[in-house]
Chains A and B, each alone.
Chain A
Amino acid sequence: MRSSSVNPDSHDVAIALNGITKRFPGVVANDRISLTFRRGEVHALLGENGAGKSTLIAIMSGMQRPDSGQIQVAGRSVRITSPSAALRLGIGTVYQHVLLVPSLTVLENLMLGAPWWRPCNRTATLKRFEELSALLSTNVAPDSLVGRLSLGQQQQVEIMRALWHGELVLILDEPTSMLTPQGVAELGVVVRRLRDHGVAVVFITHKLKEAYDLADRVSVLRLGRVVGELGPEDLRAKSELEAIDAVVAMMFGREEEPEDLKTTLLGGARERDGLSVAERSGEPALSMRGCHSHGDPGECPLAGVDLDVWPGEILGIAGVDGNGQKHFAEALAGQRRLSAGSILLGGEAVERTDVIQRRARGVRYITDERLGEGTAARHSVATNLILKEIGKSAFWRHGLTQWRQINEHGRKMIAEHDIRAPSERTTIEKLSGGNIQKVLLAREWAPDASLVIFNKPTYGLDLQTTKRARDWIKSGAGAPGAVIIVISNELDELIEVCHRIAVIDRGRIAGVVDAGDGATSEIGRLMTGAEAA
């Protein structure tokens, strides 16, 4: 073997990935990824959902085996065959959700990883615990129950467990998503201490601001590929806004779009602009004022949404996942009660009405969770097509279900909306994601709709169905004069189909931007909360 390309700083390289490829049925999750993680460096991996970040972590932490490509750890070619093999190599991973046993003490949790035949050695465990406590500069009591600790402290224990067998690499998978702002600040201190100690910290996030604050190096993944990297020099040379602009451009790949798509996009937008300017002079068709909601732990509630949308307007909602999009959609659809605020639809207050009453007023909601809440698995396609009409006179007479009419309606919808299903009696779960989405679209299709809400309408769909769904939205969802809301975390999509784009950030509308050429960077800034600060 040739010991070629020995960099002068090769002893600093903790992990070198070379051409890592991982395929799942129908997707290439990682496509020839080559990345180098160095000791004493915080390296942020950025990318949208489905960009391949999770698969890459899974490969480095031994949960998945790559289909091809090499991994070198501290200069040695290795195969990481299991999570414990990764730990023995000094690669520790802290996942988004805490994986500790709450009813055991801190020390007991840390002893769990040992082989079963070895007696628990409290003295040795305590010694290592104190070493790591000093390294992290934390003061968690070793005998306190994990369940009594704050989430930030539990995460510190997780970091200790990840570093237990060696301090080479620490992978943090969206570590801030469950933390309070104070917890985020404390984590920042710990991460910097570890970096200065020589640990290679890999930091996965989709919050651009955090990446800028913490990272020495930023790599951006998109559709399974590395699409760009900003080294320490680049980051130092750029202001925060410039860096974020650069990252947004890489994340959403605006520069790579083929020219013809861009022109059709612009043509459509110009035509729509004329329409909406005229429309926007009148009364808004939908008007939200001070909308608040209650959220369970882990959910982002609405925290004062103000928004006006005019008839015939297509409004996009952009934002980083988990900033209140779900509550926003559910509040409009009537699935979620507002704790404060008002919603005026066509001039009438609807915030106290339920799903059925709003549906009667022409509200339609295409949920992003097609299987989780949009359909009833085990029930037929025909049944799922009338799921929101149960008890209505078209399919129920004298309280009796008219299965013949329901199945006939199912056959008609399958033909009209090009749903690929063997029969209207096939159970819905047997259909592909795209065809399930067509069932939902068919169910919500209504020429007299007043408000149509699309939540991630093309998430997980193949290109053709994606195009079909987008064309359908662009044409006004078959309901002229309706307000159309499109929630998506694909900026390209929003710019293609919407007149205006509102950015949601921590449960509030951070700003509304006209869809057009300059929109991307403005939206990126609003998404990171730069404007609100």
Chain B
Amino acid sequence: MTDSSQPRWAPEALHRVLRVLLPILLALGAGAVLLVILGKDPLAYYGYVLKRGLYSPSGFEASITRMAPLLLIAAGLIVAFRAGLWNLGVDGQFLLAAVFVSALTPALLPFMPAIAAIVLAFLVAVAVGAAWSLIPAFLKARHGINEIISTLMMSFLGVSFANVLIKIPFNDPSTTVPQTATLPVDDRLARLGDSTVHWGVVLAVIMVVAVHYLMERTSLGLKLQIVGTNPRTAIHCGLDVKRLTFVAFAISAGLAGLAGAVDVLGVHGTIRADWNPAYGIVVIPLVFLARFNGFAVIAFVFFFAVLMIGGESAARRLGVPSFFVLVLVALLMLFFAVIEFLDHARRNRAGS
């Protein structure tokens, strides 16, 4: 038994490493080909991405800072996806919560200490995000309506509604461009040491780990997993599937809302009309690539944040469109799917 399994173990570990590394290398290679076709030097581009996103102190700090909202959104998606609920409306939940927080926090400051205002703002953000998922949750739980469609629709509505809020009730009349009142830099989230990284990043890492343990080590997590595996099994075992659907949506959308609060209170301080970073669209594939594993999500989000920050500077410097980063993510997804498929076929052959 051990004789036959021992030699097979080492290739298995190698396969696991290759399964992650190979798609990344292939995506970078294919991206390089595209850059050559565009008439740009791929080595210069990747060099800039690394330099501005990872090696320069300011770039590294910017990458780490960017991880905060991405990780919080990812934490929420892990809960929803493992419960079998495809909450694709995180962008709307994120933006609406961000807008409420950016309007509310400056207004609260005269009445309470900054720390209290921030805690209150976090709670409001969670509530706003969760509230925006109520309709899809209700439709799913009561009528079995596909949440992929309903959350996406609610996301578009949420983004538009956020713009209406910025332009009319929450507009700061002292500025020419429609935007919310600006939070003074001193009242934003505290920095870590003398870096530019705010402690929202720490909160985000804690939330990802917490969510991981929630799913792996608590009864609620196991119940959500069973609902995600097979809702009929959940009913058979006496689980309240409707309630669990609401709970999973509330946690997922609440964390997306918290991501909005952290991004506004930690970085921007104000929101202009038509601002929509659409983090959710890129975080969703990353969560899939990480196979809903919290620790793997942290690694993937770090990788992507470096790509994003470095890509923005490299785009300016080399005249490559800034959305080229999205092209790289798309290539990454494509090659992950191909490798996954080949690996699956390999295991099937080995199994039979």
* B146 within 8 Å of A (CB atoms): no
Given contacts A391-B219, A399-B218, A401-B219, contact A335 B229 (CB under 8 A): no
- Report B-chain residues with C-beta under 8 Å of the C-beta of A396: 218-219
Across the interface, do B238 and A373 meet the contact criterion of CB distance under 8 Å?
no
Among the 9-residue stretches A53-61, A354-362, A462-470, the one with 4 or more Cβ atoms under 8 Å from chain B is A354-362
Residue on B nearest A392 in the bound complex, by CB: B219
| Interface 0/1 of B208-247, CB less than 8 Å to A | 0000000011111111011001101101111100000000
Given contacts A334-B238, A396-B219, A400-B217, contact A387 B232 (CB under 8 A): no
Given contacts A399-B218, A399-B219, contact A378 B235 (CB under 8 A): no
Q: Which of B220, B221, B225, B236 neighbours the largest number of chain A CB atoms within 10 Å of its CB?
A: B236
| Interface 0/1 of B174-218, CB less than 8 Å to A | 000000000000000000000000000000000000000000111
Residue on A nearest B238 in the bound complex, by CB: A355
Given contacts A387-B226, A399-B218, A401-B217, contact A375 B233 (CB under 8 A): yes
Cβ-neighbour of A376 out of B216, B218, B221, B233 (below 8 A): B233
- Report B-chain residues with C-beta under 8 Å of the C-beta of A352: none
* A379 within 8 Å of B (CB atoms): yes
Smallest distance from the beta carbon of B231 to chain A beta carbons, Å?
9
- Report A-chain residues with C-beta under 8 Å of the C-beta of B230: 372-373, 376-377
Cβ-neighbour of A373 out of B222, B223, B232 (below 8 A): B232
Across the interface, do A379 and B232 meet the contact criterion of CB distance under 8 Å?
no
Across the interface, do B229 and A356 meet the contact criterion of CB distance under 8 Å?
no
Across the interface, do A400 and B223 meet the contact criterion of CB distance under 8 Å?
no
> How long is the Cα–Cα vector from A367 to B223 in the complex, in angstroms?
20
> How long is the Cα–Cα vector from A369 to B233 in the complex, in angstroms?
10
In residues 283-308 of chain A, which contact B (Cβ within 8 Å)?
A: none
* A126 within 8 Å of B (CB atoms): no
Across the interface, do B233 and A387 meet the contact criterion of CB distance under 8 Å?
yes
Smallest distance from the beta carbon of A183 to chain B beta carbons, Å?
28
Given contacts A334-B238, A379-B225, A390-B223, contact A374 B218 (CB under 8 A): no
Across the interface, do A378 and B226 meet the contact criterion of CB distance under 8 Å?
no
> How long is the Cα–Cα vector from A365 to B216 in the complex, in angstroms?
28
B interface: dominant SS: helix
* A388 within 8 Å of B (CB atoms): yes
Q: Which of A334, A335, A356, A401 neighbours the largest number of chain B CB atoms within 10 Å of its CB?
A: A401
Across the interface, do B236 and A390 meet the contact criterion of CB distance under 8 Å?
no
- Report B-chain residues with C-beta under 8 Å of the C-beta of A435: none
- Report A-chain residues with C-beta under 8 Å of the C-beta of B219: 390-391, 396, 399, 401
> How long is the Cα–Cα vector from A400 to B216 in the complex, in angstroms?
9
* A30 within 8 Å of B (CB atoms): no
Smallest distance from the beta carbon of B1 to chain A beta carbons, Å?
10
* A383 within 8 Å of B (CB atoms): yes
Smallest distance from the beta carbon of A426 to chain B beta carbons, Å?
13
Smallest distance from the beta carbon of A252 to chain B beta carbons, Å?
30
> How long is the Cα–Cα vector from A335 to B237 in the complex, in angstroms?
9
Smallest distance from the beta carbon of A304 to chain B beta carbons, Å?
25
Residue on A nearest B218 in the bound complex, by CB: A399
Smallest distance from the beta carbon of A62 to chain B beta carbons, Å?
28
Residue on B nearest A395 in the bound complex, by CB: B219
- B-side interface residues, number (CB < 8 Å): 19
Residue on B nearest A399 in the bound complex, by CB: B218
Smallest distance from the beta carbon of A294 to chain B beta carbons, Å?
15
- Report A-chain residues with C-beta under 8 Å of the C-beta of B238: 334-335, 354-356, 359, 388
Across the interface, do A373 and B236 meet the contact criterion of CB distance under 8 Å?
yes
> How long is the Cα–Cα vector from A365 to B238 in the complex, in angstroms?
11
Residue on A nearest B232 in the bound complex, by CB: A373
- A-side interface residues, number (CB < 8 Å): 27
- Report A-chain residues with C-beta under 8 Å of the C-beta of B225: 376, 379
Residue on A nearest B223 in the bound complex, by CB: A390
Across the interface, do B218 and A367 meet the contact criterion of CB distance under 8 Å?
no
Cβ-neighbour of A372 out of B216, B220, B222, B232 (below 8 A): B232
Across the interface, do B237 and A355 meet the contact criterion of CB distance under 8 Å?
yes
> How long is the Cα–Cα vector from A376 to B226 in the complex, in angstroms?
6
Cβ-neighbour of B229 out of A355, A359, A377, A403 (below 8 A): A377
> How long is the Cα–Cα vector from A367 to B238 in the complex, in angstroms?
13
Across the interface, do B237 and A390 meet the contact criterion of CB distance under 8 Å?
yes
Given contacts A391-B219, A396-B219, A401-B219, contact A335 B235 (CB under 8 A): yes
- Report B-chain residues with C-beta under 8 Å of the C-beta of A377: 229-230
- Report A-chain residues with C-beta under 8 Å of the C-beta of B216: 401
In residues 115-146 of chain A, which contact B (Cβ within 8 Å)?
A: none
Q: Which of B220, B235, B238 neighbours the largest number of chain A CB atoms within 10 Å of its CB?
A: B238
Across the interface, do B222 and A374 meet the contact criterion of CB distance under 8 Å?
no
- Report B-chain residues with C-beta under 8 Å of the C-beta of A334: 238
> How long is the Cα–Cα vector from A401 to B224 in the complex, in angstroms?
14
Residue on A nearest B235 in the bound complex, by CB: A335
| Interface 0/1 of A473-497, CB less than 8 Å to B | 0000000000000000000000000
Smallest distance from the beta carbon of A328 to chain B beta carbons, Å?
15
> How long is the Cα–Cα vector from A354 to B236 in the complex, in angstroms?
10
Smallest distance from the beta carbon of B223 to chain A beta carbons, Å?
6
Smallest distance from the beta carbon of A108 to chain B beta carbons, Å?
28
> How long is the Cα–Cα vector from A379 to B239 in the complex, in angstroms?
16
> How long is the Cα–Cα vector from A376 to B239 in the complex, in angstroms?
13
Smallest distance from the beta carbon of B213 to chain A beta carbons, Å?
9
Across the interface, do B235 and A390 meet the contact criterion of CB distance under 8 Å?
no
> How long is the Cα–Cα vector from A369 to B232 in the complex, in angstroms?
10
Smallest distance from the beta carbon of A446 to chain B beta carbons, Å?
15
- Report B-chain residues with C-beta under 8 Å of the C-beta of A383: 222
- Report B-chain residues with C-beta under 8 Å of the C-beta of A355: 235-238
Across the interface, do B236 and A401 meet the contact criterion of CB distance under 8 Å?
no
Across the interface, do A387 and B237 meet the contact criterion of CB distance under 8 Å?
yes
Across the interface, do B229 and A388 meet the contact criterion of CB distance under 8 Å?
no
Smallest distance from the beta carbon of A389 to chain B beta carbons, Å?
9
Across the interface, do A373 and B235 meet the contact criterion of CB distance under 8 Å?
yes
Smallest distance from the beta carbon of A298 to chain B beta carbons, Å?
16
Smallest distance from the beta carbon of A209 to chain B beta carbons, Å?
33
- Report B-chain residues with C-beta under 8 Å of the C-beta of A403: 217
| Interface 0/1 of A387-416, CB less than 8 Å to B | 110110000100111010000000000000
> How long is the Cα–Cα vector from A388 to B237 in the complex, in angstroms?
5
Smallest distance from the beta carbon of A16 to chain B beta carbons, Å?
39
> How long is the Cα–Cα vector from A451 to B230 in the complex, in angstroms?
26
Across the interface, do A390 and B217 meet the contact criterion of CB distance under 8 Å?
no
> How long is the Cα–Cα vector from A205 to B218 in the complex, in angstroms?
49
Residues of A at the B interface (CB closer than 8 Å) are 334-335, 354-356, 359, 365, 367, 369, 372-379, 383, 387-388, 390-391, 396, 399-401, 403
Known contacts A355-B238, A396-B218; 15 additional CB pairs below 8 A are A334-B238, A335-B238, A356-B238, A376-B226, A376-B233, A383-B222, A387-B226, A387-B233, A387-B237, A388-B237, A390-B219, A396-B219, A399-B218, A400-B217, A403-B217
Residues of B at the A interface (CB closer than 8 Å) are 216-223, 225-226, 229-230, 232-233, 235-239
A-B contact pairs, 6 of them (CB 8 A): A335-B238, A365-B236, A373-B232, A388-B238, A391-B223, A401-B219
Closest 8 CB pairs of A and B: A355-B238, A391-B219, A373-B232, A356-B238, A373-B236, A376-B229, A388-B237, A376-B233
